[in-house]
Structures are given as C-alpha cells and as structure tokens.
Structure 1
Amino acid sequence: LAVCHALTAELGLHMFDASQRAVPAIRRATTRRSVKSNQRRTQQANDYLLSVGKKLRVYHLHGALTFASIEPIVRTMTQESASTEVFIVNLRLVQGIDRAAVNFLTGLRAELTARGKLFLFTEAGACWQPLIDQGVDREAFFSDDDFALEYGENRILADRFPSPAADGQMPLPDCELFLGLSADQLAWVDQLLVVRTFHKGQNIITAGQASNELFVLTAGAAMVSISTQDGVARLDAFSAGATFGEVAFLDRSPRSANVTALNAVTCRVLTREVFDELDTQAPAIKIRLLGNLAGRLTTILRQNGRELAALK
C-alpha cells in the first residue's frame, strides 16, 4: 500500500508527514531535513524563501498506488492547497499505479493548475507513461527533486525578485561580492575585472585546474558538478549575482569540481594578481571583499551544519 511522505518547507527544513497505509488520517513525524534546492541564491532571496516556506511542498510516494491508497493522499494535498503554490510529487519508490490512481493524480493536477498552482512530478519511472497517456504534459516531469525544487523556487521568487535588467546583466552593486562598496569604489573595481563569456555546456571551471581566479556571475546560470560512477552529480547551482570559486581561490588549492554554463553566461573575473595588488592600491576595498566572502562562507557552513544535524 502507498505511503506518502509530505515534505513541508518551513524555515528551510522539511517536515515529514507520514501517512499510514490504508488509513486516511495523517500523523506528524519528527524527522526534519533541508528543503531548498542546490541553486545558490542571494541572501535576500534565501530569506524570502524561508519566510514563505509552506508555499512549496514535496511528497514522496511509496508502494502501489491504487484507489484506496491514493485517495487520502490526494485529500491531504487538496487541504494543503490553500497555503501551497508549488506541489512536487516524487514517484521513485512507487511500485505500480492503477488507472484510478492515475485519474486521481491527473484530476488533482488539472484542478490545481486551473487555480494557478504548479504541480510537478519527479523520478516518475514506470508511472511516466500512464500519466503522459492521461494528458500530463512532458514539462511537468523532472529527473530529480533538486531540479524541480529550483523550478518551483523560481516560480515563487518571480514576482518579488524579477530578472536582471533588459540586457540580462546583473549590475555590480547587486552582486554579493561587491555589497557595501561606494560608487567610486565600484567604478574602480569595474576597471580591474575581466569580462569572460561562456556558451551553454562549456566548462567555466574544470576540476583539478589551478585556482587563480574568482568568478562573479553577472548573466546566465551555472552548475557545479563532480563525476561519479553513475555519471554526473550536481552539487550546487548559481544564478546572476553569485560569486563562485572562492574557497579554492582563498586557500590556493586545486579546483575540486566542475562549473558548467547552463545557458549563455557572462562572468566578471578577479585575478589573483589584481587581488594581491589591492593590499597596497586599495586596502579598504580588499577588506570589504574579504568581509563579503567571509559572510558568504559562514552562511554556507551554517546551512551545511543544519543539514548534518537533520540527518542525525
């Protein structure tokens, strides 16, 4: 029988709702884990996502989906739709799905879509074809939760954090690395930064190479990945305004992962030579840059700490 784990985004954490087997009631479990995607966003965007966490929910369905097992799950999702904008349904552990369950899911999706909600499926496996045959469009399917979470987060952020200016470029004052610099300081830094462009699929950083450059993404999106036995594992992702490559740049270690352009990308690049020259030419600017880098790294460490604690 099906079991549903509803993962509710609340303060950056997942709250597991474990529905029991054929009983429609749902009991609250205590297990918690991170709900955010690997997309690296600005602090303002992250704070906003935390403040509206219940707008996005992930449901992990287990077992055989039949009329008896899917009905209480669909009822629960319908009840939660008053406060939810994005529904993500993971089907990886589903062992089978009958016509009644397909009709329930597609009917719920059609109803929620008509109400302006976003309803996505991940890791659909054998469920993909029955859902497609029932009229679910292909764009509703994602290979894993991370990509679906990113898509859903983008939907939630769209109105409050519109895309960069018409030319697609994120202004330097809005980039994390340059927060707090005066107009004169920004104008001076602008002259020192190299402009570099990349096409979709091109590596911006390759694992193993020297780390003599710090990157600020001003247009486009990029993905951090490593090679595994199963292929490529996505570790992180960046949108315009993000800084990346900072850890290896600061400790002068070789690059530990690949960073690949997901579309047309423009970066402003700070070379180590220029960075070192700031010691004498503009120490106040270097202090500000180091402070911004330290703040970003602290945020990453705290987030990782919360995720590790949630796994205990």
Structure 2
Amino acid sequence: MTLVQPPMMVHGGNHPARAMRLMISSLARGRQGIAEAGDLKVRPLEAPGPGVRVGDGSALIHGARPWQGAYTQTNVGDAVVNVPPTGPFARTDLLVLRIEDPEFEGERDPRTQDIGYFHLIQDIGNKETPAPRGMTAIPLARITLPRNTAAVTAEMVTDLRRIANPRTERTLRTVHPQDTEKVPGKHGHWVAWPKEAAWDVDVPNWATKATIVITLSGLRAEAGSIYAELRTRLGERASRPTVVDDDGTTTRSAAVVLADTLTVPPDYRGTRQHLAVQINQLDKYGDGDLSVAKGTTVTADIEFTESPV
C-alpha cells in the first residue's frame, strides 16, 4: 500500500477523506467508544412512551473494514429514538450509534443524508451485545421490553457504553511512624488510626471511581488476643472493613491490607478530600493491644479512574 498523505498539513494538497479517518484512528490508538463519562447516555423519554432519548456527547467509531479508519460523531441536545411496542412476545433491542459510509457499506448520499445516526436493531435475542459483525457502530444500550408494552422505563434500559480512552491517575503515598501509637482506649467505635495514615487527596474532575489499597506492615500485637476491623475513608465515603483476628498471647507482628473501590460522588470531583485509615477494636473478643511503632510502614495506593455514568 502506498502512503496516504496526511490531511491539513500542507497547503494546496488534495486530501482524501480516508486520510482524516486514518489519522483519527491513530490518535484514538485503535480504541472506540464515547469520549467522556457522561456522553450519549440513553434514558427513557421524560414522559415514558414508545421511545428513548440519547443525551449530549461525542464518540469514536472504528470502521468495520481494514484500513477504513475511524469516525467522530457529536450529539448536541437529546436525540429521540423510536422503540416500537411489543405484542404478545417480549423483545430485546440493541441501540447503536452507526456510521453508514457509502464508500464501504449502504447507499446513503452524504450530500443529503446523515452518515452517522442512532440505529435500533430489533429483536437481538440472546446475541452478544457488540454491534453485528460488518456494521460500523458502537453499542449504547440494550432495551428489554416485556410483552404488550408500549412505554420504555428506566429498568428496561441496560447501559452498554464504553469510554474510548478512559483516564486514570495513580498516586503512591508512604509513611513510617516514629512513635509507638496504640489504638485509642475507647474501643467499640470507629476512630482514625494511626494518625500518620492520613492524606489530603486531589480528586480529578473526571474521576468516577477510586480504588484504594492501604497496606500496614509491621503492626505490633501484644498482651492478649485482638479482634479489630479496619477500613479506609475518603471524605464521607467508607470502604468495606478488613478484619484482624489474632488469638495469640505473646508479642506478634502482623501485616494488613485494606482494599476497596469507591464510587466518586459528583460533588467530590475537582475537590480535595481527606483520606484516612480507621479502626474499630472490639474488646468483647479480646483485650490485647494493637500498635504501630518504629518499623511500621503504611503504604497508600490510590487510583482514580473514569467510567460511564
């Protein structure tokens, strides 16, 4: 294959449309889907009826054929897509954003017809959710209609969107306590501990999830058995607890890993939130002492990710 000359980089050239598509494909790194987390979300009509609405947003769609390249599409405002009612049988439909480029498929005239459009594929049954083979399209939603149904409601819509190039941001923090610190004496309540295991974290304005892994190595357990729960807390969002259950009687050393994925509330995005480790030691299961000391290491691995919302 000869070189396809790059578009819009020289004056006076005659650039084929394929050059732009191939450039988009390269910049997209071979991926397709919506551009940002909230793009092209499918919802019922404001007054539920025989249709759905597709919201604002942009997408990348790769051609189904070799060297076809990729297309961009942007929707401004709600687009209404009709969904025919069902009769005596239930039906499952697939809503896609489709490109029908007459150079490769279909007979649409780009001068008078839309090459990109929302397309409802009816009665897909148990087929896989990606767009049918050979069709240049990305799936947006599956619509499952019971029998004798005319109005589409929220529970009938399954979101199938994927972000073409989701953003991630990962940070590692470490602390090494220098002083011995036991769990505060009032057990049976959640308290921040150890005091060094606390950070102010900047939440990206695009983040929808936070995966937090805290490792506490070199914990010191002594003076009897211990039962405690530990968790992380980001702002007001708490993770599921991890249990320390130790029935020894001599001095021991332990390591604990706390891990969970938290949904980032919209009002956290673009703000600074406090991240801390909390403990709830229960004396009814043991009266030992759990402490951090010189030689303890606390590591926080924080990753923010972007996913459809």
1 or 2, which has the higher helix percentage?
A: 1
1 or 2, which has the higher strand percentage?
A: 2
TM norm. shorter chain > 0.5: no
Select the structure of larger CA radius of gyration: 2
With the shorter chain as reference, the TM-score category is under 0.3
User: Larger relative CO (CA 8 A, sep 6+): 1 or 2?
Assistant: 2
